[in-house]
Amino acid sequence: MKSIFLVGFMGSGKSTIGKQLAKKLKLNYLDTDDLIEQTANKKIKTIFAEDGENVFRDLEHQVLTSTSDLGYVISTGGGIVERQENRAWLSTKQVVYLKTSWETINERLQADQDRPIWQDQSRDKQLLLTKRDSLYRDIAKITIETDNQGVDQIVDQIYSIFE
């Protein structure tokens, strides 16, 4: 089966859903954030703090374009659409957008300590969601609304499209 790439904002559930979906579809699982941490041998927040966002984005591009188009569920990071090269690359793939409202994202990420962009008080995250929403929609073949839906329900919904 062609690989499924999950995109969406921070807190949309890409990593949580991706893992369970891969299990259910009997596919391999990858998360670009995990691959970046393995490649750099550092946590994401340390890469941002020590090297900056641009270095993180370079690594993100490198690991994304090294993934296989067959046999995987691949969870991406919310900022994967920041680079035009990534959007062009993903637009030829089987991309599922997990669409989530600003209110829901706030609830889910209330206690988050690990997402440097979420923690950055100088950035307008609501505006970022609005901007990225149209980029996710441009590259996605399928959009799934995740508000008011549990993880199992969302996994079942995507599973029923691809089984």
Ligand X SMILES: Nc1ncnc2c1ncn2[C@@H]1O[C@H](COP(=O)(O)OP(=O)(O)O)[C@@H](O)[C@H]1O
Ligand Y SMILES: O=C(O)C1=C[C@@H](OP(=O)(O)O)[C@@H](O)[C@H](O)C1
Binding residues for Mg(2+): 15
Kindly identify the residues of this chain, within the stretch 137-156, that bind ligand X according to CB under 6 A.
Answer: 146, 149-151, 154
Q: Which of 3, 11, 63, 74 binds ligand X (CB under 6 A)?
A: 11
30: partner contacted, choices ligand Y, ligand X, Mg ion, none (Cβ within 5-8 A by kind): none
The b/e string for 130-153 (b: 16+ C-beta within 10 A; e otherwise) is: eebbebbeebbeeebebeebeeee
Dig out the tokens for 151 from the structure.
Answer: 């993880």
Would you give the binding string for ligand Y spanning residues 101-140, x where CB under 6 A is met?
--------------xxx-----------------------
Contact by Cβ (8 Å): 93, 3: yes
- DSSP helix/strand/coil, 96: strand
Residue 143 near Mg ion by CB under 5 A: no
Kindly identify the residues of this chain, within the stretch 3-62, that bind Mg ion according to CB under 5 A.
Answer: 14-15
Residue 8 near ligand X by CB under 6 A: yes
Residue 99 near ligand Y by CB under 6 A: no
Residue 79 near ligand X by CB under 6 A: no
Contacts (Cβ under 8 Å, ≥6 apart) of 45 = 114, 115, 116
Nearest to 75 by CA among 11, 133, 120: 11
- CA–CA separation, 8 and 80 (whole Å): 9
CA dihedral 148, 153, 158, 163 (to 10 degrees): -170
Would you give the binding string for ligand Y spanning residues 31-70, x where CB under 6 A is met?
--x----------x--------------------------
Extract the annotated binding site for substrate: 33, 57, 78, 132
List of residues contacting ligand Y (CB under 6 A): 10, 14-15, 33, 44, 77-79, 115-117
